[in-house]
Chain A
Amino acid sequence: MLDIPFWKRLLILGLVALGLLYAMPNLFYSRVEQHNDAVTAAERNGFESQEDAAARAGWPDWLPSGLVNLGLDLRGGAHLLGEVHVRDVYKARMDALWPELRDALAAQRDVVGAVRRVQAPEGQLAVEIGNPDQMAKAVEIARGLAVPVTSLTGAGQSDLAISASGNRLTVQLSDAEKAATDDRTVQQSLEIIRRRIDEVGTREPTIMRQGKDRILIQVPGIGSAEELKQLIGTTAKLTFNPVVSRTADANARPGTGNVLLPSMDEPGVYYVIEESPVVTGEDLTDARPSFDQNGAPAVDFRFGPSGAKRFGAYTSANIGQPFAIVLDNQVISAPVIRQAITTGSGQISGAMNVDESTRLAVLLRAGALPAEMTFLEERTIGPELGQDSIDAGRLSSIIATVAVVAYMVASYGLFGVFASIAVIVNVILILSVMSMMGATLTLPGIAGIVLTVGTAVDANVIIYERIREELRAGKRIVKAIDDGFSEAMSAIIDANVTSFIAAAVMFFLGSGPVKGFAVTLTIGLVTSVFTAIYLTRLMIVFWLEWRKPKELIL
């Protein structure tokens, strides 16, 4: 095992050099970070400002610029775990289906009779028809509205489950469609949250799906979880609905298919509106903050072609009637239609200041969350606390390394020096691998590195103890070292595999800091086997070739 071919020596040293090169940016953390920010800013804007150019010049382009991401517990920021109420969408889908179903059944009015929507559990659409004996025909009409599910697992199935009993026809989403819808809803929420956070432009937010209906959001540098929630938690669901009546009674019964909503700026005023909207925020193509004719802050909006057409058709048919602009279940205003609005653009004005109109425009532009979200976990970590943790982590790693090195050198002399070099290279390699992968370093992760400093020498200890035994058994130096390495291999491999199993379990089941810890630990296991076996052996071989020692005291 001791004759290492030249190419292998080169490879080992090359890997170490590469590790040093890739770990280096972390030494100049803030400078490299500014450089990277400047590069992304230039890419996004398409041009480079003077400041960006200066920041970019702070770190040469040709050097690696990957950094270890600092976790929230080190950098400070906010963490949210939100649950998407995927069921909200079922109801919205049924409400949207009602006008379509009504029109389709009304077209066959002489066959099926009069059609009336009746109360039904949420997520179901129930109608009663005048001629129960023609139910088969009604079901057929309803089936005609169904379309095949578009998902891998549910392909070929219909999106509507239709049942009938007596004069009552019940429509709801089929199970396959529900699953597909859930998936779409979460994906959509994810996308909208990402857009909203990107509009604010913070660095490296983590926005990812967790499990079936959860979304994990981590934004470094934001002041508090509350701020983050305000940014993403607002649904900003904008709809334009026909108004049925206006009342001051908070307990008025709106009747089937209608809802009672409070007015936003007139306290004590309520509107009964039709639940199915004419157009929704999804039909918007643009929204901008502006001012109305009185100079009060307002938001200008514009519909896409289909929205503009529907809005135009509705307004021309209902001149003189009021319609409601509804945002998040509050009526912003209920103007009377004076003329058909066919241009597809309009203005929302109400009691708001410039900040609010700007935010509303952002929210409308990014789109509404398709469903409500509740937050199951909220964490805010102040930047000072993070910095304290970094400082403490750095200090304790340095002290731990120095202490372990001293102990190793005291125990094994020159070979202890080799092992110590291997341990230090190991820490550098961990950092470089994490930088290359863009992995996140957390406070437990730092503890993981410190722990690795302690355990990485284990492989060396196993080897050295073995060499000691072989020497005691009277073997010659080279033979003893050779045997020491080869005999120790199976123990080293077995020992690392068990640690690896534990780390892998942590990685798959853990989240946040624990996951960061598992990543650090796993990388540390792999690199420590490399440094302890290959690098240490190479150093010993160099030493043997150079000094040709006659005796070895270990």
Chain B
Amino acid sequence: MAFRLKLVPDNTAFNFFRWQWLSFGVSAAAMVGSVLLLLVMGLNFGIDFKGGTTIRTESPTAFEVGDYRQAMSDLDLGDVSITEVFDPAFGTTKHVAMIRIGTTDETGSVTPEQLNEIEAALKTVDPQVVFAAVESVGPKVSGELIKTALYAVGAATIGIMFYIWLRFEWQFALGAVISLIHDVLLTVGLFSLFQLRFDLTTIAALLTTLGFSCNDTVVVFDRLRENLIKYKTRPLLDLMNLTCNETLSRTIMTAVTTAIALTAMLIFGGDVIRDFVIAMLWGVIVGCYSTIYVAKNIVLWLGVKRDWSKPDPKEKAPGEDIPAAFRDAP
């Protein structure tokens, strides 16, 4: 017998509903907690959403953030924040700082003269400093970007809901959407808790998470539908447990391969994209959890029609993609 790495043994029979009130409580608490965090701590919006200017400096010599701040204090730039960026790839010869300057006018940008002044000021404390990137976004655009981002998340959610409703039943669609909202809230909550930079790429990560989490949910639903046809009289709860156990190996496999790939990106992908990868990695974890503990629980509570033998004219006949051998099974 050849060696096979199996994280999930064959023929598991976990009762996923045994702790359903606990898992429900945890999910609900996490969602409420996320909302509270959002209200209390807010998000660390990047310039995409808040407007302003960021400067990324690079220097071969170590520097003190305090020195930079001191050097820039006379320039009258308003709200300035300086953070040092760390990355294992930098070694000892590269020291990076992010300087963020609040928005001042319509264009949100510091003028080229100001930029020269900043550079000159920093050169007095750190002669070898260079500006690796300078980005400015005006408040007009940033306001629109927030709106677009909200539309994007909303449109993706509605699109996915509509598709699932089309392919399955409305209960499934609702279950999937609630688990999507759960995932989005928890991801936003994480960003609020650790004050990670929340910008346009974070929205992209959120949308990807939506797709991924839903992907997972759909695979479980697909199998549930199949089992509903196969076993017409077994209680729904049993069927759900059966389905979940049958697909558990796949759920874990896929989550692990995705997590492996993202972890490689997290460690070696550089600091520019780190927050983006964190959002996706967290999304994968939360998405995996919500597939098992949120989506189908909602479907269980909503109940679902049990007689799948007659194709519903409103939707694609569920039996169509099921092989003939199963269609008339008891």
Contacts and interface: CB of A to CB of B under 8 A. Distances in A.
A174 interface: no
A382 B267 contact: no
B130 to A, nearest CB: 7
Interface in B33-89: 56, 58, 89
A472 interface: yes
A413 to B, nearest CB: 5
Contacts of A494: 167, 218-219, 221-222
B133 A377 contact: no
A412 B256 CA distance: 14
A411 B4 contact: yes
A499 B159 CA distance: 11
A376 B141 contact: yes
Interface string A381-392: 110110011001
B260 A517 contact: no
Contact of A502 (B130, B210, B260): B210
Nearest 9 Cβ contacts at the A-B interface: A454-B261, A392-B270, A502-B211, A454-B258, A499-B211, A400-B264, A396-B268, A410-B5, A400-B261
Contacts of A501: 156, 159-160, 163, 211
B106 interface: yes
11 contacts: A395-B268, A399-B268, A400-B262, A404-B261, A411-B5, A444-B204, A454-B261, A458-B258, A490-B222, A501-B159, A509-B148
The number of chain B residues touching the other chain, given as a range, is 35 or more
B254 A514 contact: no
A529 interface: no
A498 B214 contact: yes
Nearest to A419: B257
Contact of B89 (A392, A453, A495): A392
The number of chain A residues touching the other chain, given as a range, is 35 or more
Contacts of B106: 374
Most chain B beta-carbon neighbours within 10 Å: one of A381, A502, A509: A502
A517 B219 contact: no
Contacts of B155: 505, 509
Given A461-B250, A465-B250, A513-B200, A403 B261 contact: yes
Nearest to A463: B250
Contact of A403 (B112, B247, B264): B264
Most chain A beta-carbon neighbours within 10 Å: one of B1, B2, B159, B260: B260
A465 to B, nearest CB: 4
Contacts of A400: 260-262, 264-265
B304 to A, nearest CB: 17
A448 B321 CA distance: 31
Contacts of B322: 490
Most chain A beta-carbon neighbours within 10 Å: one of B159, B226, B265, B272: B265
Contacts of A441: none
A382 B276 contact: no
A513 B133 contact: no
B280 interface: yes
B259 interface: yes
Contact of A489 (B160, B264, B321): B321
Contact of A497 (B163, B272, B323): B163
Q: Which secondary structure dominates chain B's binding surface?
A: helix
Interface of A: 73, 81, 83, 224-226, 374-382, 384-385, 388-389, 392-393, 395-397, 399-401, 403-404, 407-408, 410-413, 443-444, 446-448, 450-451, 453-455, 457-458, 461-462, 465, 468-469, 472, 483, 486-487, 489-491, 494-506, 509-514, 517-518, 521, 553-554
A450 B261 contact: yes
Given A73-B272, A498-B214, 12 more contacts: A378-B109, A382-B131, A412-B4, A454-B257, A455-B254, A457-B257, A494-B219, A495-B215, A501-B159, A505-B156, A505-B207, A509-B155
Given A404-B257, A408-B257, A501-B160, A384 B112 contact: no
Q: Which secondary structure dominates chain A's binding surface?
A: helix
Contacts of A410: 3-5
A444 B201 CA distance: 7
Contacts of A455: 212, 215, 254, 257-258
Contact of B269 (A73, A447, A461): A447
Contact of A553 (B4, B5, B134, B149): B4
B171 to A, nearest CB: 16
A349 B217 CA distance: 73
Nearest to A505: B156
A382 B204 CA distance: 24
Contact of B56 (A81, A385, A496): A385
B314 interface: no
A392 B133 CA distance: 17
A55 to B, nearest CB: 30
Contacts of B216: 495
B277 interface: yes
Nearest to B176: A498
